[in-house]
Amino acid sequence: MAAAATSKPLEFALAILQSAVDQAKNTHAYLSKPKRKLSPQAIQAYNDCKTNWENLASGLERSLETIKKDKGYATDTSDYDLMIHLDDATSCATALDKAQIQDHVIAKGKENALLAVGAANTILGWIKPPKKLD
């Protein structure tokens, strides 16, 4: 990936965020595939997860677009808005735990999303976006 090799922190953070969006979409696609015979509790947990990962992907995409447009964290809540999307991955993990389901694909998706968003957030925290003229 050429953008990941850049020395420009904003471009690097955006590339990392794009990978988080891609991970969320891949995990959502996995959840959209039919599963073997499952208990009603497991079906509900997977359905909840499917919704959670769809929300995570769309939320991360919105944050990515805002950060691109603003060239960093331009508003007081941009960093919070980005990080709060990860609650969807946590909600999915909680639903699976309650149903006593261990799914390595979803666990890996969550880990990758958390790492990518955390890394991008760290980089973006050091970038000062250009001041807007009023």
| CATH at 122 | 1.20.140.40
Task: Tell me whether residue 88 is in a domain.
Answer: yes
pLDDT, residue 133, reads 59
User: Is there a domain that residue 131 lies in?
Assistant: no
The amino acid occupying position 108 is: K
What is the pLDDT, as a whole number, of residue 127?
A: 86
Q: Indicate whether 121 belongs to any domain.
A: yes
d(CA 119, CA 115): 6
Tell me, yes or no, whether 4 lies in a domain: no
How many folded domains does the chain comprise? 1
C-alpha to C-alpha distance for 134 and 127, rounded to whole angstroms:
21
Below-50 pLDDT ranges, the chain = 1-5
Asked if residue 118 belongs to a domain, the reply is yes
Q: Residue 35: its pLDDT value, please?
A: 81
Report the phi/psi class of residue 16: left, alpha or beta, with left for phi > 0 and alpha for psi in -120 to 50: alpha
Nearest to 39 by CA among 117, 100, 115: 100
Could you tell me the residue range of the domain that residue 83 belongs to? 13-31+38-126
Does the residue 3 lie in any domain? no
- Here the tokens at position 62 are 């919105």
